Amino acid sequence: MPRFIVSHRLAGRIGAARSASQEAHETVRAGIRGFANVVSDRRQTAGTRGLMIVDADAREMLQRQRQAPPDILIEPEVRRRSARFTLAALTGPPAYPAGTGASLNLTVRSSAGHAPAATVQVMLTNSQTGAATSATAQTDAMGRVSIAYDARQWWPSTAIVTPHSGQWSWWGTPSNGAAITLSDLPRGTPIGWWHQLLGISSYRVSRGQGIRVGFADTGAGPHPCLAHVQSAGAFLAGAHDSAAGSANDVSGHGSHVAGLVGARPPAPSTGYAGIAPGADISVARVFQDATSTASNGDIAAAIDALSSDHNCDLINLSLGGTDRSEIELDAVTAAIEKGSLVLAAAGNGVGAIDYPAAYSGVVAVSALGLYGSFPSNAIEAMAVPSTSGGFAGSLFEASFNNTGPHMACTAPGVGVISTVPGMSPADAAYAAMSGTSMACPVVCGALATLLAADSGYTRLARDTRRAQYAWNVLVRSLRQLGLGSTVQGLGLVSAAAT
C-alpha cells in the first residue's frame, strides 16, 4: 500500500478559512484510523505539528483529502535525498548481478603510503549489449579490495575510489592488481579558497556570533570542531527522538554541511574553519541511516522545531527531490512567518530545481567550482563543464547543477573541504565533497556573517519582516559572474570580511 501523511496546517496562509474545530480534525483522523494501517500518530500541541503516517488505499485517501477541512493536509509521502554529488549520481544503482568467476583486485594507498579507509565502486559494462551495472566494496585494513564479476559478460570499465577522509577521490580505468595512490587533501590553514572567494582571509572564531543556523540533515558529529553544535534530536517516521546522541551523524554529509558554517578548529590546528564559526548551530537528523532518504513529513517537523524551539535565523536544507509537498511548503511558510529564512540546495540532477528549493520564499542555491583546486583524476573533475560558456575566469558552474528561473544565487560547492566524523570521537577528520549540498551552507555562513554585523537585523522581532530583511541583505551582497540567471541566480554570494 502507498504511504500517506496527515498533518495540521501551521502557516497562516488561509486566514478566515481556517475555521474547522479541533474536534473536526480529530473526526477526520479517527476516520482514517478506521481503515488505514497507522504507522505513527503524533498529536498536535501548541506550536507543534500533528503528524500521522498511514499505509492506505490511494483512492480512499484522495476522497478523505477532498472532504477534509482546509487546515488538514493529506498527501502521499515523498522522499528527499542529500544533494551531494555522489557515485550513485554517476553510475546509478546496480541494474544486473555481476556474477562470479573473475575478480578485480585493487590496493588503495595514500601519498604517504598508509591504507586509508575507502569505498571502491566499479562500473561494469556488458561486452555484448553495452548495458551497465556497478559493484561496490570497502577496502580492508591493508587497503585491499576484491570485486567479483562474470568475465564472460562484463568488463570493468571505470573504478571510483572515495576515501572516508584525508584524501581526494580517484577515478579511472582499473587494471587487475593495480595500486591506486590517492592525493592528500591540502591542510595547514583554517582558510580555504571558498573562504577567500567570499572575501574572508583570516580565521576569527567570533565571526557570525549572535546568529542561529539550523540544519535538517543526516545529523552532525561527533567531531572535536563541532562540539558546540546543539542537538534538535531525530525526526524519523513521524516520531521525535530527543535522547542524547539522537542527532549524531549517520553518513558524514550533515557534519560536512554543518562544518562549512560553524567548524571551530582549536589553535594551532591545521583544520579548516567554518565560514561563521561564531554562529550558534542546531542540527535535526531526518535520515535513518547512510543509505536512506528522508520523508517530507519528518523534514516539515524538523523545520518547525528549528524555527520555533531553536529560534533559528537561517535554516539550511541540503536535500531535495522532484515532488512537491504541501506539508513541507506549509512548514517553510510557517518558518518564514517566525522570522527564519530558509535556504535549500537546488539539486544535482541537471534538471529543474528540486523541492524544497523550488518553493516560493526559499533561497535556491547552485554550485561553483574553482579550476585547478583539485586533482584531474578526482571525482570533482567530472563537475567541470565541457564548454567555455560554463566558465567565469577560473570559476565554473558545476555541470551537475539543476537550473531554473527560481535560482537565487550561487556559491562554492565543488571540492570544498569540511568536517566528517572520524574513526573515534576525538578524530578531527576532514573530507572533500561536492554538490549543491555544499554550496547551500556556504551561503548560510556568508549571510550569517553579514547579519551578525547588522544591528538593524538583530533588533527585529521574529516575524516575516525579519526573514525578508535577511533576504534583502543577501541580495545586496551578490555579484554577477555572467553565467546566466538560471544557473547563478542574482550572483555569487559574498561575506563581510570582519
Domain range list for the chain: 3-77, 87-182, 193-488
Burial-class residue 468 by CB neighbours within 10 Å (0-12, 13-18, 19+). middle
pLDDT band with cut points at 50, 70 and 90 for residue 156:
very high
Range of weakest confidence among 13-27, 38-52, 205-219 = 13-27
Residue 87's pLDDT is 65
**103 pLDDT band (50/70/90 cuts)?**
very high
**Interval 347-362 mean pLDDT:** 97
Distance CA 143, CA 121 (A): 14
Give the residue carrying C-alpha cell 548481478: 97
Residue 191 or 188, more confident: 191
Task: Tell me whether residue 344 is exposed, middle or buried, using C-beta atoms within 10 angstroms of its C-beta: 0 to 12, 13 to 18, 19 or more.
Answer: buried
pLDDT value for 181: 97
CATH architecture of 87-182: Sandwich (2.60)
Do 129 and 392 contact (CB within 8 A), yes or no?
no
Q: Which residues contact 38 (CB under 8 A, 6 or more apart)?
A: 32, 52, 53, 54
For residue 84, pLDDT beyond 90 = yes
Contact partners, residue 316, CB within 8 Å, separation at least 6: 213, 214, 215, 216, 217, 257, 261, 343, 344, 440, 441, 444
Question: What CATH code is assigned to 193-488?
Answer: 3.40.50.200
Task: Give 382-397 pLDDT, tens digit per residue.
Answer: 999 999 999 999 999 9
> Residue 132 — very low, low, confident or very high, per pLDDT cuts 50/70/90?
confident
Checking if the pLDDT of 18 tops 50, the result is no
pLDDT at 15 over 50: no
* pLDDT of 88 higher than 70: no
CA–CA distance, 108 with 118 (Å, rounded to integer): 8
Q: Which pLDDT value is given to residue 91?
A: 61
Q: What amino acid positions are annotated as catalytic residues?
A: 217, 253, 437
How far apart CA 356 and CA 344 sit, in angstroms, is 7
Give CA–CA dist 26/32, Å, rounded: 10
Angle at 115 between CA 110 and CA 119, to 5 degrees: 90
Architecture in CATH for domain 3-77: 2-Layer Sandwich (3.30)
CB 287 within 8 A of CB 293: yes
CA dihedral 140, 217, 383, 109 (to 10 degrees): -20
